[in-house]
């Protein structure tokens, strides 16, 4: 079973991760998202982490790298649904996501953030 789902909401992709995601699946997800964005017009990607309790350095680094690639393809990346335990783990291990990411409490707020950012000043 694939530990993630990718849903298309027009020109925004919603990615939902399962609690247990192996390193090989993280790499497959990065490749799949990069390819989908490269093939068609995708304005934003929401990565919903509400089912992920602990974010390790491998997952964090790949999300950062993916966000940097998507930024080059003019696509906004927003992380949604970080739980308290994931935030504590990130803080304890001094993991940072970098400058190409935005954060939202949930997927709805993330979608609104992409809409607002796309509307411009």
Tens-place pLDDT, residues 18-53: 877 889 999 999 999 999 999 988 999 999 999 888
pTM of the model: 0.90
Could you count the other beta carbons within 10 Å of the beta carbon of residue 40?
Answer: 10
Topology of domain 42-104 in CATH is: Transcription Regulator spoIIAA (3.30.750)
Write out 23-87 in H/E/C secondary structure: HHHHHHHHHHHHHHHHHCCCCEEEEECCCCCCCCHHHHHHHHHHHHHHHHCCCEEEEECCCHHHH
pLDDT for the residue 18: 82
Reported as a single tens digit per residue, the pLDDT across 50-105 is: 988 878 888 888 898 999 999 999 999 999 999 887 888 778 878 777 788 899 99
Decide if pLDDT at 120 tops 70: no
Nearest to 48 by CA among 68, 63, 37: 63
């Amino acid at each position: 079973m694939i530990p993630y789902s990718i849903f298309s909401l027009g020109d925004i992709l919603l990615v939902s991760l399962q609690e247990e995601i192996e390193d090989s699946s993280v790499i497959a997800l990065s490749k799949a998202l990069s390819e989908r964005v490269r093939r068609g017009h995708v304005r934003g990607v929401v990565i919903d982490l509400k089912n992920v309790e602990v974010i390790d350095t491998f997952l964090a680094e790949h999300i950062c790298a993916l966000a940097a690639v998507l930024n080059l393809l003019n696509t906004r990346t927003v992380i949604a649904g970080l739980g308290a335990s994931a935030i504590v783990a990130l803080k304890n291990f001094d993991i940072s996501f970098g400058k190409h990411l935005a954060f939202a409490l949930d997927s709805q707020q993330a979608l609104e953030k992409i809409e607002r950012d796309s509307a411009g000043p």
